[in-house]
Amino acid sequence: MIEAGQIFALLRSFSAAEVARRFNAPQDGMVLTGRTQSATGGDPGGSRGSVEGRTPSDIEANRASAGRNVGVGAGALGGAAASRPAPDLMATGPGGAASPDPADQPAALRTGPLRMALSLGHLAPPRSDLARLFAEAALTGQPRSGAPLPMAGILGAASAPGGGLTGAAQPGTGQAAKDEGSLPVTPAPRGGRAAAPVPPLGIAPTAPAMRTGEAVDPVPARTMASPDHQPGRLVPTTAAALAEGRAIPAAVDGKALADAPGGNISDPAAPMGTAAPAADSRPVSPRATAAQLAFAEVVMSLVDVAGPGRAGATSLGSGVIFNAAMIPGWPYPSAFARDGAEAINPKALLHRLAAAVEGMSPEEAAAYLAKLGGGYAFLQRLRKLLKELDEIEAEEVKGLLFAFLETISTIASGLQKALQQLAESAALQEAVVHGDDPGPGRRRIRL
Amino acid sequence: MAAATPMTAALTGLSPAELDACEAVLATMVQDLDLDVAGIFGALRKGLTMTEALGLPEQTPDLLYAQAVARFGAGDHMAALSLFQALSFLAPGVRDHWLGLGISARAVEQLDLARLAFQTAATIAPETAAPRFHLCEVLCQQGDWPGAAREAAAFEAAAMAPEKASLAADLKRLSALIELRGG
């Protein structure tokens, strides 16, 4: 198991030079370009939930790429024979009788399967650099060509009008052919604003402001590159520079990349492709190298933010079991969601939470607490401590403790997954750099 | 409206004596957990955000969000669900974190969680259409036709935006279905 605290400590301990040495060895002739639209899921409208123009084969292909197309997405109304209709969504009359004849259905239901939006197409896109990084990581175990990208569904969805990824080439264009095999790089703003034209490989507006559902003016890419931008934020440094044919910057946020052993980016005037060969001259996949750069930028940003003084700050310790174990009613009590924040009754919530744990059998409680990291001994000690404490609401204290540990566990679980993916990506890139790429189907590298 | 997390509400709902008791209990667990849970708890009491209390880089939500989207796109809905859950704790005021949580929950057929997540998204951004649409969807899936009809009406009342326009056709079909089912 990867321990999140250890991984973060590792990231924090990286110096910029070490990061550059490990991940930032540019190769001659590398071109970082946008992914073709066809490779990102050639059905941008359908991926968002549109019902127009989707064929059974489209649906099956979507199932194959997205794992399970569950829920009402499987419901076929209006004559589509793609799949068995979901019972809840069979078009039936008010009396409950099924109406198999399309003529008996409203016009709105006759045109095809009712495919509900089981995609993230309405969400703000992630930062382009991170999206690129994880798209590359998602290629682990996938053929290099001839198969759809795992990200195809969501990228295709996000390419729909009104939001999503743009900047990648559109199908049928010359740019599309040119960009074949590369990754998407530039999300467009979401959240209710039409995508403005953006230059290729511009750095997208950063979250989370974009994810609030409010209309937010996109941040021009040049803003990110301005001299006064905040250190610690990702900047369009090496990857964007390479893509635009510019020289690689000599430093990122004041950290000199030229210090990197094995690096060949010390001459900022040297255009890409004319740099001196790296110490390790074995051939490297251009796409893999692009991902190295993206990863290096992410790591460096983390290092920047953490800073040397925070390297030993509170981290998630190895003793916590990173499996979220959800107690019914926590952390999403219906009162919270239904009536808004004002309706929260903390005491009632905590009472319910404590009661949920206390209502478990000893075996269930032990298993639950073990997942939280406390163990059954914790519950026993908690009972003992609470008996010794007067003038407090013991049940509420107990509920708060469970809630707190549940919260920590849930966050840690998410962090673990994200960092695991980062570690896998780093290991893969390292293997590719050294010519040890195990090839498609054998790239799942776990620590 | 910024959403208060249950954790925040819980903290503010207890007396100082009760919070002290919690902290005292957590202090005894540090060795068991190899984690300064009491320190984290104390930081939350002082008003720090969860990200700050945990000592995480401020870009952590961005990292988790990108990872969640990538995992969802790769069909790993459970991983996406876990990531969005973490995001909903770290940055609970962001609408799309809750939408992502709800959509991921639907993908793994946790419809109650999906409904609650969409309701929370609607609470955070009541003027936007997407939460209403997704809520209408999941209520249809759960057979709550009157509830779905209310959400469809709320969708119609939401501010016009490209997001709403792109969903309008689908909502029309949902509305037809709701009408058929007597919602």
Lowest-confidence pick of A126-135, B56-65, B116-125 = A126-135
* Rounded Cα distance, B42 and A67, in Å: 42
Q: Which chain A residues have a beta carbon less than 8 Å from that of B162?
A: 161-163, 192-194
Contact flag A330-B125 (C-beta cutoff 8 Å): no
Query: Are the Cβ atoms of A105 and B180 closer than 8 angstroms?
Result: yes
B-chain CB neighbours of A2 within 8 Å are: none
In a domain, A71, yes or no: no
Chain B CB within 8 Å of residue A104 CB: no
Same-domain status, A141 and A284: yes
- Cα Rg of chain A, angstroms: 26
Residues of A in contact with B12 (CB under 8 A): 346
> What is the β-pairing status of strands A251-252 and A255-256?
antiparallel
Nearest to B66 among A131, A302, A403 (CB): A131
Type of residue numbered A116: M
Q: Do B181 and A399 touch (CB under 8 A)?
A: no
- Give the dihedral sign, CA B77/B78/B81/B82: negative
Contact A190/B at CB under 8 A: yes
Together in a domain, A235 and A156: yes
Mark yes or no for CB contact A336/B6 under 8 Å: yes
Nearest to A72 among B69, B108, B140 (CB): B140
pLDDT of residue A120: 78
In the DSSP assignment, the letter for residue B91 is S
Below-70 pLDDT ranges, chain A: 1-117, 129-350, 353, 357, 365-379, 382, 386, 388-393, 436-447
- Higher pLDDT residue, B89 or B129? B129
Beta carbons of A235 and A252 less than 8 angstroms apart? yes
Token pair in block for residue A383:
């009972």
Q: Kindly tell me the sign of the dihedral angle through the C-alpha atoms of A67, A70, A73, A74.
A: positive
Cross-chain residue pair B32–A378, CB shorter than 8 Å: yes
Please, what is the angle between helix A375-388 and helix A362-372, to 10°?
A: 100
| Per-residue pLDDT, B58 | 78
pLDDT the model gives residue A322: 26
CB neighbour list of residue A245: distance below 8 Å, 6 or more residues apart: A271, A272
pLDDT confidence of B46, banded at 50, 70, 90?
A: confident
d(CA B183, CA B176): 10
pLDDT at B96: 92
B37 shares contact with chain A (CB less than 8 Å): yes
pLDDT of residue A355: 73
Best A65, A69, A120, A186 residue to mutate vs chain B (most B CBs within 10 Å):
A120
Name chain B contacts of A68, Cβ cutoff 8 Å. 75, 77, 107
Domain boundary among A297, A313, A329: A313
Q: Say if CB A313 and CB A327 are below 8 A apart.
A: no
Closest-approach residue (CA) in chain B for A129? B66
C-alpha to C-alpha distance for B20 and A385, rounded to whole angstroms: 12
| β-sheet bridge partners, residue A439 | none
What whole-number distance in Å separates Cα of residue A398 and Cα of residue A353?
8
Burial class (CB in 10 A: 0-12, 13-18, 19+), A20: buried
Distance from CA of A404 to the nearest CA of B (A): 7
Residues of A in contact with B94 (CB under 8 A): 207-208, 211-212
Determine the residue of chain B that is closest to A105 in CA distance: B180
Nearest CA in chain A to B177: A91
Which distant-in-sequence residues (6+ apart) come within 8 Å of B167 by Cβ?
Answer: A49, A117, A122, B129, B130, B133, B155
Rounded (10°) CA dihedral A251, A256, A262, A266: 60
A211/B97 Cβ within 8 A: yes
8 Å CB contact of A316 and B35: yes
The whole-number average pLDDT for the span B23-45 is 77
Contact call for A92 and B167, based on CB within 8 A: no
Q: Do A191 and B77 touch (CB under 8 A)?
A: no
Q: Which of B55, B60, B180 sits opposite A315 (nearest CB)?
A: B55
Query: Is there a contact between A434 and B63 (Cβ–Cβ < 8 Å)?
Result: no
Q: How confident is the model at residue B38 (pLDDT cuts 50, 70, 90)?
A: confident
Q: Are residues A287 and A399 in the same domain?
A: no
pLDDT band at B149 (very low <50, low <70, confident <90, very high): very high
Query: Which residues make beta-bridge pairs with A98?
Result: A92
Q: Distance (Å) from the C-alpha of residue B153 to the closest C-alpha of chain A?
A: 17
Q: Verify whether the Cβ–Cβ distance A400 to B22 is below 8 Å.
A: yes
CATH match for B60-180 among 3.10.450.100, 1.10.3720.10, 1.25.40.10, 1.20.1250.20: 1.25.40.10
**Per-residue model confidence (pLDDT) at position A133:** 62
Query: Which residue among B36, B86, B107 sits closest to A415, beta carbon to beta carbon?
Result: B86
Specify whether A263 is located in the same domain as A149.
yes
Question: Residue A157 domain-assigned?
Answer: yes
B93: which residues sit within 8 A by CB, 6+ positions away?
Answer: A212, B2, B3, B124
Residue B180 pLDDT exceeds 80: yes
Nearest to A265 by CA among A30, A90, A444: A30
Q: Given a cut of 70, is residue B111 above it in pLDDT? A: yes
* A73 part of a folded domain: no
Collapsing DSSP states into helix, strand and coil, what is residue B159? coil
Domain edges within chain B: 6-54, 60-180
Contacts of A143 (CB under 8 A, 6+ apart): A440, A441
Show the domain range for A276.
Answer: 7-39+122-313
- Residues 3..22 of B with a Cβ closer than 8 Å to A: which? 3-7, 9-15, 17-19, 21-22
A300 and A363 within one domain: no
B62 neighbourhood in chain A, CB within 8 Å:
126-127, 130, 206-208
Cα separation, B100 vs A183, in Å, equals 23
Residue A387 lies in a domain: yes
**A263 and A349 within one domain:** no
pTM of the model: 0.53
Mean pLDDT, range B94-101, rounded to an integer: 90
Q: Are residues A142 and A27 in the same domain?
A: yes
Q: What is the pLDDT of residue A426?
A: 72
Q: Is the pLDDT of residue B121 over 50?
A: yes
CA A358 to chain centroid: 36
Please, are residues A240 and A252 in contact by the beta-carbon 8 Å criterion?
no
Q: Are residues A202 and A329 in the same domain?
A: no
3-state secondary structure chain A: CCCHHHHHHHHHHCCHHHHHHHHCCCCCCCCCCCCCCHHHCCCHHHHCCCCCCCCHHHHHHHHHHHCCCCHHHHCCCCCCCCCCCCHHHCCECCCCCECCCHHHCCHHHCCCCCCCCCCCCCCCCCCHHHHHHHHHHHCCCCCCCCCCCCCHHHHHHHCCCCCEECCCCCCCCHHHHHCCCCCCCCEECCCCCCCCCCCCCCCCCCCCHHHHCCCCCCCCHHHHHCCCCCCCCCCCCHHHHHHCCCCCCCEECCEEHHHCCCCCCCCCCCCCCCCCCCCCCCCCCHHHHHHHHHHHHHHHHHHHHHCHHHCCCCCCCCCCCCCCCCCCCCCCCHHHHHHCHHHCCHHHHHHHHHHHHHCCCHHHHHHHHHHHCCHHHHHHHHHHHHHHCCCCCHHHHHHHHHHHHHHHHHHHHHHHHHHHHHHHHHHHHHHHHCCCCCCCCCCCCCC
Looking at this predicted complex, what is its ipTM?
Answer: 0.83
The answer to whether B74 faces chain A, any CB pair under 8 Å, is yes
The H helix count followed by the E strand count for chain B is: 12, 0
Query: Would you call A13 an interface residue with chain B, using a CB distance cutoff of 8 Å?
Result: no
Last residue of a domain, one of A313, A338, A365: A313
- Tell me whether B78 touches chain A (CB under 8 Å): no
**A151 contacts chain B (CB < 8 A):** yes
Is A424 domain-assigned? yes
Report if residue A243 sits inside a domain.
yes
- The answer to whether the Cβ–Cβ distance between B32 and A374 falls below 8 Å is yes
Measure the CA dihedral A415/A418/A420/A425, to 10°: -150
- A16 lies in a domain? yes
What is the number of other CB atoms lying within 10 angstroms of the CB of residue A358? 14
- Same domain flag for A217 and A133: yes
Distance of residue B157 Cα from the nearest chain A Cα, in angstroms: 15
Q: Does A98 touch chain B (CB under 8 A)?
A: no
If one counts every other C-beta atom within 10 angstroms of the C-beta of residue B181, the result is 21
Q: Is residue A446 less than 8 Å (CB to CB) from chain B?
A: no
Q: Are residues A353 and A267 in the same domain?
A: no
Q: Which residue has the tokens 């074995």?
A: A282
CA distance B40 to B61: 18
Nearest in space to A21 (alpha carbons), one of A259, A269, A306, A311: A259
Same domain (yes/no): A239, A152? yes
**For B67-76, what is the mean pLDDT?**
89
Q: Are residues A397 and A412 in the same domain?
A: yes
- B125–A contact, CB cutoff 8 A: yes
Q: Which among A287, A313, A339 is the end of a domain? A: A313
Q: Round to whole Å and give the CA distance between B107 and B74.
A: 13
